[in-house]
């Protein structure tokens, strides 16, 4: 029908645009990391005048004034790589998704894992996550962000191919009481979608398709050399400045961890419109979506098989009911998580954050103090407690709006709902 065709075309447009990310070699007209470093360097050399941190990497310039002149050099060390350009590293996405995300198994790195990353001038996505979250959960979240469009597009192409082969007689149709029941699209869509979602990038890399370059701390920061590891940790602000996007793999623990709250707060400081450059992928919603999709596939596929065998398949309605219950339960749980998230932000205290390696707490506190002083959020003469209090105020003031924008008014993106409607309407089956 015309409505179904409209849904198909709309879905195709969304997933095609989502599947095509800019290659690493893309050169933005906006200031880059080197421009930011140059701006800070000029500010240091002309210390009599107030200076402006005139830009960050990618397409989002910032106009925040650095009013504490004595912290300019420290800010330069934190927010740019300077002579340590070899520290700016990223890893192709297909390496992260290889072997169902085996890199997410633990936080222990080696010379071999560091060798997987390469020196770059720009990072497509900074992946902010917690190691306490399971390997497969993070793999699903990353795949959902980067591979959803590719998976949906390949599913549509697979179904179109099956339809054409059925029309030309290469694939038999199912006939029930002299009526044509349909082709076998219902058996093709689900497996293709899940296969491409989790392994599509690896197949695309085999054919030399460009892949996004992402930052993963375990791979891009040296985990063996203590000197290089310390330098990499101190340059987290520089990594964020060189990133086009910040991808947050969100769970309830995210806002309770010291390192991740520092990362997201630093990103907000560096970019006035940070929310537009943040992509938040709640692990819970990924589970809900994939479970609903799996139930929908089981229902349509089993219904078609039962119909072909001329058996009663009214029980498929039960499967649809379970699918709806799963979706509603997931959204209800997510709504409660959002309320809990807002409460945690409004009552945020950095001193109460969890730090797995307690010795890292002093490092993060020092970075926070330097950052808030350099950007004029607290007087340059303020002590550590005052700087941390200023950071608490920043989180309570800026993060609610940033996360609300990133989450949007609904649980999923519009094209996710279109895709669910595309499946539930039976387009993949008949």
Residue 293 pLDDT grade (very low, low, confident, very high; cuts 50, 70, 90):
confident
- Which three-class secondary structure state does DSSP give residue 29? coil
Pick the residue with more confidence: 213 or 430?
Answer: 213
pLDDT for 107 beyond 90: no
pLDDT for 103 beyond 60: yes
Q: Which two tokens stand for residue 418?
A: 């279109």
Pick the residue with more confidence: 227 or 170?
Answer: 227
Q: Which two tokens stand for residue 89?
A: 């590293």
pLDDT at 351: 93
Q: For residues 114-136, give the mean pLDDT.
A: 93
pLDDT in tens, 247-260: 999 998 999 999 99
| Cα separation, 80 vs 77, whole angstroms | 6
Closest CA to 371 of 274, 269, 298, 292: 269
Which of 95-104, 173-182, 391-400 shows the lowest per-residue confidence on average (mean pLDDT)? 173-182
Interhelix angle 414-424/135-167, nearest 10 degrees: 50
User: Within 10 A of 387 (CB to CB), how many other CB atoms are there?
Assistant: 22
Pick the residue with more confidence: 179 or 349?
Answer: 349
pTM: 0.78
pLDDT in tens, 79-95: 788 778 889 999 999 99
| Cα separation, 358 vs 424, whole angstroms | 49
Pick the residue with more confidence: 155 or 324?
Answer: 155
Residue 28 pLDDT grade (very low, low, confident, very high; cuts 50, 70, 90):
very low
Q: For residues 107-124, give the mean pLDDT.
A: 91
Q: Are residues 15 and 149 in contact, defined by beta-carbon separation less than 8 angstroms?
A: yes
pLDDT at 186: 67
CA-based end-to-end distance of the chain: 12
pLDDT in tens, 374-419: 777 888 788 899 999 999 998 998 888 778 777 765 656 667 767 6
**Which of 76-80, 86-90, 266-270 shows the highest mean pLDDT?**
86-90
Burial of 332 (0-12, 13-18, 19+ CB in 10 A): exposed
Residue 331 pLDDT grade (very low, low, confident, very high; cuts 50, 70, 90):
confident
pLDDT for 294 beyond 90: no
- Which three-class secondary structure state does DSSP give residue 176? strand
pLDDT for 187 beyond 90: no
pLDDT for 125 beyond 90: yes
Residue 216 pLDDT grade (very low, low, confident, very high; cuts 50, 70, 90):
very high
What kind and span of H or E run contains 51? strand 51-52
């Amino acid at each position: 029908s015309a409505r179904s065709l409209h849904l198909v075309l709309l879905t195709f447009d969304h997933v095609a645009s989502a599947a095509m990310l800019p290659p690493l070699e893309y050169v933005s007209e906006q200031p880059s990391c080197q421009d930011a470093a140059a701006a800070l360097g000029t500010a240091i050399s002309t210390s009599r005048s107030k200076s402006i941190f005139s830009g960050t990497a990618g397409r989002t310039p910032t106009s925040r004034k650095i009013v504490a002149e004595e912290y300019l050099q420290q800010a330069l060390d934190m927010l740019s790589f300077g002579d340590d350009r070899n520290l700016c590293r990223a890893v192709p996405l297909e390496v992260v998704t290889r072997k169902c995300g085996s890199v997410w198994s633990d936080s222990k790195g080696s010379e071999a894992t560091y060798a997987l990353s390469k020196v770059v001038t720009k990072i497509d996505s900074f992946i902010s996550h917690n190691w306490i979250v399971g390997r497969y959960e993070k793999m699903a979240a990353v795949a959902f962000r980067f591979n959803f469009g590719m998976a949906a597009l390949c599913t549509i192409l697979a179904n179109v191919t099956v339809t054409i082969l059925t029309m030309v007689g290469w694939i038999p149709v199912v006939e029930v009481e002299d009526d044509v029941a349909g082709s076998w699209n219902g058996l093709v869509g689900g497996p293709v979608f899940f296969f491409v979602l989790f392994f599509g990038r690896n197949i695309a890399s085999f054919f030399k398709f460009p892949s996004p370059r992402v930052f993963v701390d375990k791979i891009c920061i040296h985990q063996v050399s203590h000197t290089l590891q310390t330098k990499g940790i101190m340059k987290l602000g520089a990594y964020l400045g060189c990133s086009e996007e910040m991808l947050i793999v969100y769970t309830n623990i995210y806002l309770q961890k010291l390192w991740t709250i520092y990362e997201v707060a630093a990103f907000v400081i560096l970019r006035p419109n940070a929310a537009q450059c943040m992509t938040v992928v709640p692990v819970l919603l990924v589970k809900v979506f994939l479970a609903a999709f799996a139930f929908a596939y089981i229902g349509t596929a089993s219904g078609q098989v039962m119909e072909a065998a001329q058996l009663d398949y009214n029980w498929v309605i039960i499967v649809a009911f379970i699918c709806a219950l799963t979706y509603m339960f997931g959204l209800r749980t997510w709504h409660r998580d959002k309320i809990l998230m807002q409460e945690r932000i409004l009552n945020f205290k950095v001193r109460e954050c969890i730090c797995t390696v307690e010795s890292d707490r002093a490092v993060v506190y020092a970075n926070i103090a330097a950052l808030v002083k350099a950007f004029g959020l607290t007087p340059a003469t303020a002590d550590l407690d005052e700087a941390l209090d200023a950071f608490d105020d920043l989180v309570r003031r800026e993060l609610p709006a940033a996360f609300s924008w990133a989450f949007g008014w609904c649980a999923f993106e519009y094209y996710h709902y279109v895709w669910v409607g595309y499946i539930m309407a039976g387009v993949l089956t008949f």
